[in-house]
Structure 1
Amino acid sequence: MPAFQPLLDTIDLEDTVLTTDALHTQHAHRAYLRTRGAHYLAVVKKNHPGLYAQVRKLPWAEIPLEHRTRDKAHHRVEIRRLKVAAVRHLDYPGARQAIQVVRWRRELSTGKLTIERVYVITSLDIYDATPAQLAAWIRGHWGIENLLHHVRDRTFREDESKVRTGHLPRTMAGLRNLAVSLFRQNGEANIAAALRHTSRDYHRPLSALGLT
């Protein structure tokens, strides 16, 4: 959180679009981006109850569907439906549109169906981007989540770690990122399987690091 502005101070943000998860859906962060000439796509979750309630209670049932995709991969079928509402009343700096994404995911092996609703707000106006562009940016953000943060959460069980004091959490996060990056560079798609394979022989981690 404290590194948000210092990090972005080093980058030219004029006419860029930044996507962030709900952790950075902060008034100060959005106001800063607007003063830098940048637009944002910010996920809204229940950790911001007032804003979440405002967005969730919009008349989504009456708003027409703007974009739809259907994909089949990883033994599942996923349908994404996107609706967009122009807003001016949200208590959030520069918010011009609210977005609802409904993801339908069916596991082909079990037939299990899961439905997830995600809400996003953006400073982009209706003339600044098409629904297809908004969908692509949101999906691109999820791609980052799936390739790194999801792996850290599920495979490394980062949230269950007992390492919580001093600089150790940041050090461990860096080591997890290093492991994930090395496996990705070596063409590994399944990080959990790669970890199991590497752990069976102490020479393998050294080889992956180029030390043997």
Structure 2
Amino acid sequence: MVTAAAAGVLAGARSLTAIAEWISDAPVWASMALGFAVDPFAKTVVTLPHPATVMRLLTRLVGDVLDAAVSASLRARAVGRTTAKARWRAVAVDGKQLRGSRAAGGKAVWLLAAMDHTGTALGQQQIEAKSNETRAFVSLLHDLDLDNTVITADAAHTQHANGRWLRDRGAHYIAAVKGNHPGLLE
């Protein structure tokens, strides 16, 4: 059901109701590809969850736990994907507002994510707002192997504590400097 919900979002569904409706209206071939069972008697009818079941599941999912599971799966699939062993691995960290999303209180959902330069999402976590990206930087990268990794991030993450933490973990970083460090910028 989670994969079907993701497919519904990719198809343009922007609410829980729209996701549940997309699953109900999906073509038989798509439902079968998403793993829903074929009715053994009718053979052309796919057994789908009731829209209320889909909505109950999606409202009860813990986003950070789902993110961790999906990220771990993507990292496992990426191992050995490249034929040549690179000397350095490049990882970008950035935060973005999810367009069309709303959390409790009607505020937009913000995520801080780490992605390697092959396009694999290594991790992401929801943050309260753009201003909280800096505090989430270390916790986002904490479980990643950072040996021989070059981290890039925007100027908000150019903090002494972040640099020390990255060095202690065997990582390297490219620090963007703007007005948040006027002496260093000068």
* Same topology, TM > 0.5: no
Select the structure that is richer in strand.
Answer: 1
How would you bin the TM-score normalised by the shorter chain?
A: under 0.3
